[in-house]
Amino acid sequence: MAEILNFIKKRVEVVGTIAISLGMIFSIKYLFNSPISTSALIYLVLGISLFIIELRFMDEIKDFEKDKIANPTRPLPAGEISKKQVLTLIIATYLILILLCCVGYFFFSPLVGSLYALVVAWLTLMYYEFGIPKILNLSPIVYAISHQVIILPLCFFVVAVLAPNNTFSPQAIGYSMLILGSFFSFEVGRKMNPEAHSILGTYRVYYGKVTTHLFISLLIGLCLLGASQLGVFPWVLVPSIIVFVFQFLIFKNEKIFKIFEYVMTLNLLYNLWVLAIVKGFVA
């Protein structure tokens, strides 16, 4: 048990995970001016948080061989926990996710349960790399797209719980674009170390500096497109400009890649909460 707790402490960002969950929940609440019951709040926090945690556990197993070379101090490659123990965590969490599908279906609505089941099913396919790992690993960006699109049903799932009549509305689609662009740009932007081990296949190392920055700019553009659909374009434009400024700075001096990672993290968290800030706290 001590090994498992130590592993979770080192590899699961509990506070960050809850912040992501609450940001999505309260942004949707204020977007549609929807009431939220205690049961719905608990269900959504569990649904989003455990999804993120399970994804973390799965990545630990998937990246094990790479981490033995590039990140040998992490708990699993360092031998602080066994693969069997991590697999046990994956199975236990997966069973809870299945239970949450059933809770959503029978206690909220068939749509809620079905959307969460889609999230869990896609997560399963991601773990097995859709049965075509060699093809996906030929291109980091193709691999990333196949994994990042899971954000879309997750967003629709939250809307289905809080505002079921608006599940696939233009606003829900706009929100999913904002969040997809935020997560995807974070995924690319947090891996800008030009000296990262080649086995990691990061975007910066694989595609080079110019193409990687183009990816980030396009994804920030997706965020702005979603924001315009939601009526919060100016609020998202400001942090987007900050990202663009730091893109210019890191383009000139790649030694500040860690600072850029922090910028992309803050941009993600801000965009997750922006609707709650603008339509809830500011209004």
In the prediction, which pLDDT does 283 show?
Answer: 61
Q: Over 90: is that where the pLDDT of 70 sits?
A: no
State mean pLDDT over 232-251. Answer: 97
Full-model pTM = 0.95
Q: Over 70: is that where the pLDDT of 118 sits?
A: yes
CA distance 4 to 57: 11
State mean pLDDT over 207-222. Answer: 96
Tell which CATH classification among 3.40.50.1220, 1.10.10.10, 1.10.275.10, 1.10.357.140 matches the domain 1-137+149-162: 1.10.357.140
Band (pLDDT 50/70/90 cuts) for residue 139 is confident
State mean pLDDT over 216-242. Answer: 98
CA distance 122 to 48: 14
Burial class (CB in 10 A: 0-12, 13-18, 19+), 35: exposed
Q: Over 80: is that where the pLDDT of 201 sits?
A: no
Band (pLDDT 50/70/90 cuts) for residue 196 is confident
CA distance 199 to 205: 10
State mean pLDDT over 169-189. Answer: 97
CA distance 150 to 66: 24
For helices 170-189 and 233-252, angle between their N-to-C axes, nearest 10 degrees: 20
Q: Over 80: is that where the pLDDT of 198 sits?
A: no
Spell out the domain ranges in the chain: 1-137+149-162, 169-283
State mean pLDDT over 149-165. Answer: 98
